[in-house]
Amino acid sequence: MNIIVCGSLVPDPLQTLEPIAGPTGPALKNEMMLPSWLDPWAGHALYEAANLAAKTPGTKVYLVSLGPKAKLQQVMMTVAQKVPFELVALDGPAGGFTDAAETAAALAAAIQSIPGLNLAETLVFGGWESASRGAGATMQIVGEILGVTEQFQGVDSLEVQPDGSLKIMERVEGGKHQISVCSGAPAVLGWATGSLPEPRNNPQVGMANMRGIMPSLQKAKPAPVTTGDIAFASVSLPKQTRDTKIVKDTPPEDIAAEIVAWIKG
């Protein structure tokens, strides 16, 4: 069995992220200067894939990642030490304003180009959403392009049953979970948080991964993903509103009522 994880890069959330209108559309100010990290949603998918592969002999994990080549190299220096995988790199934008359909088409084409890949024996993992794009549709579109109709979104756990079937727990409304049983691959799973902690750094795993990562980055195909037909009138940070009023000897009920009136107004 093969497990393919689709995951992109996101800016470090501890940095100041200021949207601007660039020459090719919306972007982040000094985006190429911002430190990046693997999207946390995709990170959960990658760790779950590696955990499943460790329990299933003969399983190989691929990471298909779309982002600027220089940024991918920077991020892979750290991610490579977490779990074993083979990188399939695409050189293109990884910002939050790219079109989900174009992104999915580029990812699907990269998956189809993997030599000797048998989709009938493949699970496709990815983030349910994304810390940058947040479209919540990319993995679904990838599955449709690949012809994989067994799809599960908001996955929190996956168990392989003795007969080879997959027991999958998905999030649904009301804080509940839906449990489904799939006969096996192929299937698309959009992961939520999963249940695994971030693996410790392992320099030996990192060295083994980097032997394949560097050639993959050198051969990364251009993926000119755009904003599609979406038009942005403007991009800006949310405005902060602060109204301060100092009062004395006011009953709590009056204060609560005033706060409610302010919120409604």
How does pLDDT run across 173-227, given as a tens digit for each residue? 888 899 999 998 899 999 998 788 889 999 999 999 999 999 999 998 888 887 7
Domain ranges of the chain: 2-222
Q: Judge if pTM exceeds 0.75.
A: yes
Q: Residue 206 corresponds to which tokens in the numbers above?
A: 């990192």
Q: Six-digit token pair at 194?
A: 């999963």
User: Is it true that domain 2-222 has CATH number 3.40.50.620?
Assistant: yes
Label each residue of 141-170 as H, E or C.
Answer: HHHHHHCCCCEEEEEEEEEECCCCCEEEEE
- Residue 98 structure tokens: 């790219």
pLDDT tens profile 225-246: 877 777 777 777 777 777 777 8
Angle among Cα 204, 207, 56 to the nearest 5 degrees reads 65
Split at pLDDT 50, 70, 90, the class of 260 is very high
Q: Residue type for 139, please?
A: M
Task: Name the pairing type of β-strands 187-191 and 151-160.
Answer: parallel
Tokens of 39: 């999207």
Angstrom distances, CA of residue 242 to CA of 245, 257, 258 = 10, 18, 15
What whole-number distance in Å separates Cα of residue 201 and Cα of residue 180? 34
Tokens 């939050």 belong to residue: 96
